């Protein structure tokens, strides 16, 4: 092969102009040839949504002439971005797909709501080694300096080792500077949920409406979870699978009177 540099697809859910994806692109440019296909506007909380009843727009853009990556801005969801990148934009399968760096946590149960992680999962379903990165700081002014080193280490190791079939990585990074981060832990997803609180208001026409808000409840006291790692100053890596089968439950449900 003439070109041995890996091809890296970069996406996110905060939108193509978010500081988090800019930090991710900067790191990926040191590792390979980078193509960015990301939503043209914020798509947080979109989960694994796809656009099936609407047209998709996807345009090449130039954010900076000094940077080597190709960039495309897409009107769809994070998962749409991966689908259009893999099937329309790229002429070969990427060696790595990275999504993020998300502004805010995608640890524990948040993985199922996360557009960042759903993009990584989507790429994973087509056989591309994929990683979602998130920093535990929701601010648009979040500082990604410490994250860059972590991202580089994990992306390099993924390029080197590959990933087991059917597995993508969910990486969460605590809001700490480099000297404060204690290390990287491979974890299981903590057993937690959202206790929602709806804020009920009345619009100027007298009609009631609601804002969704909620409180994160971690009912898992294990020290092998992503929540424990993050609370104790570690970066968490959860290997995530998209075979959702609860294999352990098959026998029990087979004992039901179903026929």
Select from 11, 73, 106, 118 the one that contacts a second copy (CB under 8 A).
Answer: 118
Using CB under 8 A as the binding rule, the residues of this chain from 61 to 80 that contact a second copy are: 79-80
Collapse the DSSP code of 216 into the 3-class scheme (helix H, G, I; strand E, B; otherwise coil) and give the result.
strand
DSSP 57-122: -EEEE-S-TTS--EEEEESS-HHHHHHHIIIII-SS--SEEEEEEEES---GGGGGT-HHHHHHHH
Q: Please classify residue 209 by burial: count the beta carbons closer than 10 Å to its beta carbon, then call 0-12 exposed, 13-18 middle and 19+ buried.
A: exposed
Using CB under 8 A as the binding rule, the residues of this chain from 12 to 31 that contact a second copy are: none
Check residue 9 for interaction with a second copy (CB under 8 A). Answer: no
Q: Is 102 annotated as a binding residue?
A: yes
Check residue 159 for interaction with a second copy (CB under 8 A). Answer: no
Binding mask 190-219 for a second copy (x = CB under 8 A): -x-xxxxxx-xx-x---xxxxxx-x-----
Select from 167, 175, 218, 231 the one that contacts a second copy (CB under 8 A).
Answer: 167
Check residue 57 for interaction with a second copy (CB under 8 A). Answer: yes
Q: How many CB atoms lie within 10 A of CB 243?
A: 8
Q: How many CA atoms lie within 13 A of 154 on its CB side?
A: 31
Check residue 125 for interaction with a second copy (CB under 8 A). Answer: yes
Q: Is 44 annotated as a binding residue?
A: yes
For a second copy, the closer of residues 214 and 233 by Cβ is 214
Phi and psi, residue 122, nearest 5°: -60, -45
Check residue 186 for interaction with a second copy (CB under 8 A). Answer: yes
Q: How far is CA 22 from CA 19, 36, 111, 215, in A?
A: 5, 10, 22, 30
Select from 15, 29, 49, 176 the one that contacts a second copy (CB under 8 A).
Answer: 49
Using CB under 8 A as the binding rule, the residues of this chain from 214 to 243 that contact a second copy are: 214, 237-243
Check residue 181 for interaction with a second copy (CB under 8 A). Answer: no
For a second copy, the closer of residues 102 and 170 by Cβ is 170
Q: How many CB atoms lie within 10 A of CB 68?
A: 9
Residues at the binding site are 13-14, 44, 102
């Amino acid at each position: 092969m003439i070109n041995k540099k890996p091809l890296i697809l970069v996406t996110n859910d905060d939108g193509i102009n978010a500081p988090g994806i800019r930090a991710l692109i900067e790191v990926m440019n040191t590792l390979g040839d980078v193509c960015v296909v990301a939503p043209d506007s914020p798509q947080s909380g979109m989960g694994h949504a796809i656009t099936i009843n609407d047209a998709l727009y996807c345009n090449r853009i130039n954010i900076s002439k000094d940077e080597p990556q190709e960039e495309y801005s897409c009107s769809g969801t994070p998962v749409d971005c991966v689908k259009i990148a893999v099937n329309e934009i790229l002429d070969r399968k990427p060696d790595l797909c990275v999504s993020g760096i998300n502004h805010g946590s995608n640890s524990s149960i948040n993985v199922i709501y996360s557009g960042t992680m759903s993009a990584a999962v989507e790429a994973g379903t087509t056989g591309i080694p994929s990683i979602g990165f998130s920093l535990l700081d929701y601010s648009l002014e979040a500082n990604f300096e410490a994250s860059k080193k972590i991202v580089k280490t994990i992306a390099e190791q993924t390029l080197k080792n590959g990933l087991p079939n059917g597995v993508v990585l969910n990486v969460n990074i605590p809001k700490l500077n480099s000297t404060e981060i204690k290390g990287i832990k491979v974890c299981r997803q903590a057993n937690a949920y959202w206790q929602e609180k709806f804020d009920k208001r009345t619009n100027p026409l007298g009609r009631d409406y609601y804002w969704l808000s909620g409180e994160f409840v971690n009912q898992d006291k294990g020290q092998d979870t992503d929540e424990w790692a993050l609370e104790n100053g570690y970066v968490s890596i959860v290997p995530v699978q998209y075979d959702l089968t609860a294999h352990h439950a098959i026998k029990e449900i087979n004992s039901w009177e179903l026929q």
